[in-house]
């Protein structure tokens, strides 16, 4: 399955009602918002798109927000997740953080406060990106060093076919290295084309 990452910052918002949508309508056009009214719809979006951040209601019709958060983290281990909604207990907030939440906000926040928290999440992701990218680049070079000559020699593939095959395997390893260092998959997907092209240019048969 291939997930797609948009050029603009993208946020998945999961709430059964319409309060969150109304609040975000007051926000700037800095983000692309995708809305889901339950966990089922949210997971469908998660499995076909990459998001820079997630806004989850703690209470959903089919799953609790903490359960959805755990499912999101299975796909995007370094996801930036913001819980928003009706007041929950301290114990419930602790569960949210244990399930991958980056912050918990009450329903009473205004549009500017919500926007500010989203910006903080993006900045946190940006802080991790250089280290995550460096780790991913090491993984790419290791994969190229080990696979290029072997694939050409053993399979007799033409350079372009070899390139596609190697890129697939290198991308998997690089993505694992990237998220291990705290980078999000959305950031990785944007960085990947240039990252691989730079590494590939070091090989003389290109």
Co-location of 15 and 101 in the same domain: yes
Co-location of 18 and 77 in the same domain: yes
For the stretch 90-101, pLDDT in tens is 888 899 999 999
Co-location of 195 and 165 in the same domain: yes
For the stretch 172-203, pLDDT in tens is 999 999 999 999 999 999 999 999 998 888 76
Quote the pTM value: 0.83
Co-location of 55 and 117 in the same domain: yes
Co-location of 13 and 111 in the same domain: yes
Q: Is residue 21 part of a domain?
A: yes
Of 90, 124, 158, the residue that ends a domain is: 124
Co-location of 107 and 150 in the same domain: no
Q: Give the per-residue SS3 of the chain.
A: CCCECCCCEEEEEECCCCHHHHHHCCCCCCEEEEEECCHHHHHHHHCCECCCEEEECCECCCCEHHHHHHHHHHHCCCCCEEEEECCCCHHHHHHHHHCCEEEEEECCCCHHHHHHHHHHHHHHHHHHHHHHHHHHHHHHHHHHHHHHHHHHHHHCCCHHHHHHHHHHHHHHHHHHHHHHCCCCHHHHHHHHHHHHHHHHCCCCCC
Of 124, 146, 164, the residue that ends a domain is: 124
Co-location of 91 and 165 in the same domain: no
* Per-residue pLDDT tens digits of the chain, which is 206 residues long: 445 544 568 899 998 877 888 788 766 667 889 999 999 999 999 998 899 999 999 889 999 999 999 999 999 999 999 998 766 688 888 999 999 999 998 877 788 888 888 888 888 888 889 999 999 999 998 888 876 656 655 555 556 777 788 888 899 999 999 999 999 999 999 999 999 998 888 764 44
Co-location of 113 and 148 in the same domain: no
Co-location of 13 and 114 in the same domain: yes
Co-location of 20 and 100 in the same domain: yes
Host domain of residue 153: 128-200
Of 103, 124, 145, the residue that ends a domain is: 124
Co-location of 120 and 134 in the same domain: no
**Domains of the chain: total:** 2
Co-location of 33 and 54 in the same domain: yes
CATH of the domain at 19: 3.40.50.2300
Q: Is residue 62 part of a domain?
A: yes
């Amino acid at each position: 399955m291939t997930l797609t990452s948009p050029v603009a910052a993208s946020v998945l918002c999961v709430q059964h009602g319409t309060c969150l949508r109304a609040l975000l309508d007051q926000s700037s056009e800095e983000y692309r918002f995708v809305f889901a009214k339950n966990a089922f719809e949210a997971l469908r979006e998660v499995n076909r798109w990459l998001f820079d951040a997630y806004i989850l209601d703690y209470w959903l019709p089919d799953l609790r927000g903490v359960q959805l958060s755990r499912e999101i983290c299975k796909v995007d281990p370094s996801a930036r997740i913001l819980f928003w909604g009706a007041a929950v207990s301290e114990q419930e907030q602790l569960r949210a953080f244990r399930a991958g939440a980056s912050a918990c906000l009450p329903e009473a926040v205004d549009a500017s406060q919500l926007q500010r928290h989203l910006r903080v999440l993006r900045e946190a992701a940006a802080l991790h990106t250089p280290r995550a990218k460096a780790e991913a680049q090491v993984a790419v070079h290791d994969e190229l060093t080990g696979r290029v000559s072997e694939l050409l020699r053993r399979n007799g593939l033409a350079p372009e076919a070899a390139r596609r095959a190697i890129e697939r395997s290198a991308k998997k390893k690089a993505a694992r290295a990237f998220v291990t260092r705290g980078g999000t998959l959305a950031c990785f997907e944007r960085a990947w084309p240039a990252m691989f092209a730079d590494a590939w240019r070091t090989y003389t048969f290109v």
